[in-house]
Amino acid sequence: MTLPPALHAPASLIGGPEPTVLLLYSIVAGLAIGRLVGGRVRNLERVDFAWWRPALVGLAVQLVLFAGPVAERVGTEGPAIYVASTLLVMAALLRNLALSGVPIIAVGAILNLIPVLANGGAMPSAPEAWLALNGVAALPVSHFSNSVLIGPDTLFPFLGDVFVWPRPLPLANVFSMGDAIIAVGAVVFLVGAMRDPERRSAPPTVPAAEPARR
């Protein structure tokens, strides 16, 4: 019996064909852990994320690019547009490396970007992973996608979407090593950002030295 294909959403620097697979789980985990350690959700609005506009533009371009009507007509221009929008998001991440968790997210993003650049703007995706997920060793789309099945000429296949988030778990899909690292970074970012600003920026307290006795 063939299972229905997994939902296919636009991929970006921060994930493979379905970036929400691990990212949504990491957001829920990050918010929960942040609260458990005394953080507050309202502190998230105080985070100063530089270059957020270019990052937002990059993500918005990808949402449009992978939407059905556009994906069906974009043709050979698709990979170039995808890579360019991805680099916008990458630049914003690198600009914010001082924020807690962002360096981890950036490492995962780079691990996703390497196979994409090496394979003509497409993320390698393991046929075996799709077979385990959907019962069919094929991508669940017929129009433009940033994914391509791994073949004998694929570069850096081990960095592609080779892992499976299995059914019956929600948002079942395939994911990469980079996706998993990004998810960890997102948890660290949220927990750090939810801490009170005073606790986040206060230097460690050093006990005052006692005066020397004569």
The full 3-state SS of the chain, as one line of letters, equals CCCCCCCCCCCECCECCCCHHHHHHHHHHHHHHHHHCCCCHHHHHHCCCCCHHHHHHHHHHHHHHCCHHHHCCCHHHHHHHHHHHHHHHHHHHHHCCCCCCHHHHHHHHHHHHHHHHHCCCCEEECHHHHHHHHCCCCCCCCCCCCEEECCCCCCCHHHCEEEEECCCCCCCEEEEHHHHHHHHHHHHHHHHHHCCHHHHHCCCCCCCCCCCCC
**pLDDT over 90, % of the chain:** 50
> What is residue 202's predicted lDDT score, i.e. its pLDDT?
46
Q: Across all residues in the chain, what is the average pLDDT?
A: 83
pLDDT bracket for residue 138 (50, 70, 90): confident
Residue 196 is predicted with a pLDDT of 73
Q: 17-69, pLDDT tens digit by residue?
A: 445 578 889 999 999 999 999 999 999 999 999 999 999 998 888 888 877 78
Looking at the predicted structure, is the pLDDT value of residue 133 above 80?
yes
State the pLDDT confidence band at 177, using cuts at 50, 70 and 90: very high
Asked whether residue 4 carries a pLDDT value surpassing 60, the answer given is: no
Alpha-carbon torsion angle 59, 65, 66, 67, nearest 10: 110
How does residue 166 score in pLDDT terms, banded at 50, 70 and 90? Answer: confident
pLDDT at residue number 73? 78
Rounded to an integer, the average pLDDT of 111-137 is 92
pLDDT in tens, 73-100: 777 788 888 899 999 999 999 999 999 9
* Mean pLDDT within 122-138: 90
